[in-house]
Amino acid sequence: MVTFGVSAALIATGVRPRPAARARAERTHLLRESGEGFQIVFGRETLRAISVMIFVLTMFASCPRAWRPPGRPRATPTWSPEGWTRA
């Protein structure tokens, strides 16, 4: 609870209002803007490599938890840092 309060205080004091990236009159359909974002990310080799790497790492980091069939005992002790790593 303390860290939540500290985060809220930092956000309340440190974030300044700023204008939107596009004015309301310049905005287009949400899917069109999403497509433009995908073109930016996947159109550049560096950003594409970073996004694919994060996707693959996330996939392999979270899948082993689902591979254990229900009812099978855990291979790790009752206490595990698993909760801290997934937070």
pLDDT in tens, 72-87: 666 655 555 555 555 5
The DSSP result for 27-74, as a single string, is: ---HHHHHHHHHHHHHHSHHHHHHHHHHHHHHHHHHHHHHHSPTTPPP
Task: Measure CA 50 to chain center.
Answer: 13
**What is the rounded CA–CA span in Å between residue 9 and residue 30?**
32
What is the pTM for the complete model shown? 0.46
- pLDDT per residue of the chain (87 residues) written in tens, 0 to 9: 789 999 999 999 988 888 888 888 888 888 998 999 999 999 999 999 999 999 888 877 766 555 655 666 666 555 555 555 555
Angle of helix 30-43 versus helix 45-67 axis, rounded to 10: 100
Write down the residue that tokens 């980091």 correspond to.
61
